[in-house]
Structure 1
């Protein structure tokens, strides 16, 4: 697989929660995997030291998973609703021009966190099919404690129709998440190794595999 794959994460750890096993598998199969973390935590909401630690943890986790390149954008975490759409669009358009991905993974538009919703919309603007750098496939991923905490009768419900077998990469995904020591939580919190394993087992058994990650196909150009 000699393809360019781009994962856009609103915050550090979203990419591992939603796409960690897929990233590891496709990187091992020869794909060029890129990760863009869209936001950074700024004082007073987030201590500068913590923001730096999380970014360092992201780089170590991504190295484990085989990521070719990680980019960090300066957009304000948990505050994207105060940023003009065109500014977010412009940042992501620059990313697309530089990487020119063939496959794109983005957060689900029904996620509870507004940052996820804004990144979903701006990513689709940057990935418009009439653009010269439009990816051929776009998938939305699920993020524990964001995707499943919204009200499915009021917002889009995550109903996956694409599954990636990560049976051989589940433990690597969990190890990568554990590198995010500042973000990992003890069970029964959803962002715990036990819950990550449980979700992967559920998604895998849905399609007769030991472990899988699930996605919603947004668009495919053949």
Structure 2
């Protein structure tokens, strides 16, 4: 059993599956790592204002998807969807700092600061929460959330991956996990369709010589 502790920070429920569902499954199911997923926003009030039923349904979908991937623990912060930039920076920092203190992860994955403002806000807060002199975190990587990262202008934190994860053996788990998100799935050729998720993984796989891969940007790694 691995002693690794991994924290995956998502701005919204489903970011983690789209960006790195195959890698989560690899860490949790194949390597025996303890994986925690933190959802910073509630992920539905902007799209479905006032609909508390769909908010509860989306979290149920998120937890079902996490269970399929072997996630040990899910944390829901409940901050306002698509409005994280309207909050004081310290309010977004708090749930992330709390998770880092409690879990003491060696690796943190966070959503890449792409065209989505919530993604950029969460990324900045992760960088505050993982300062090396005060945490156990040795490695930080960003993942690409499809239907967000591909629309980011090249002069605004464009995604240029430097680290790849072979998910050839876990792509089916990733697709099955996203199928749990019935509130978010869309028909092909939308990037939030099962066919697009598989095609994207295959495309990234060609970069590294594997059948399927997920790309990341290595932000920082500390080596003793």
Q: Deviations over 1:53-112 (max 9, x none)?
A: 000001111110000000000210111111100111122111111111111100112x11
- Contact between 1:128 and 1:134, CA under 8 Å: does it hold in 2? no
| 1:114 corresponds to 2:89 | no
| 1:140 corresponds to 2:142 | yes
Match of 1:76 in 2: 80
Match of 1:193 in 2: 194
Match of 2:94 in 1: 90
Give 3-state SS (helix, strand or coil) of 1:198's partner.
helix
Question: Which ranges of 4 or more aligned residues in structure 1 deviate by more than 3 Å?
Answer: 41-44
Aligned length, in residue pairs: 219
2-side partners of 1:60 and 1:105: how far apart?
20
Give 3-state SS (helix, strand or coil) of 2:60's partner.
helix
Q: For 1:12-91, what aligned pairs fall within 5 Å after superposition? A: 12-28=13-29, 29-40=31-42, 41-42=44-45, 45=49, 47-91=51-95
Q: Deviations over 1:23-74 (max 9, x none)?
A: 0011121100110011113487251111110000011111100000000002
Q: Deviations over 1:143-199 (max 9, x none)?
A: 0011111111x2121111100000000011000001101101100111111111111
Flag structure 1 segments of 5+ consecutive residues without an equivalent. none
Relative to the length of structure 2, the TM-score reads 0.95
1-side partners of 2:50 and 2:63: how far apart?
19
Q: Give 2:126's match in structure 1, choosing from 112, 123, 127.
A: 123
RMSD, matched Cα: 1.2
Match of 2:10 in 1: 9
Match of 1:168 in 2: 169
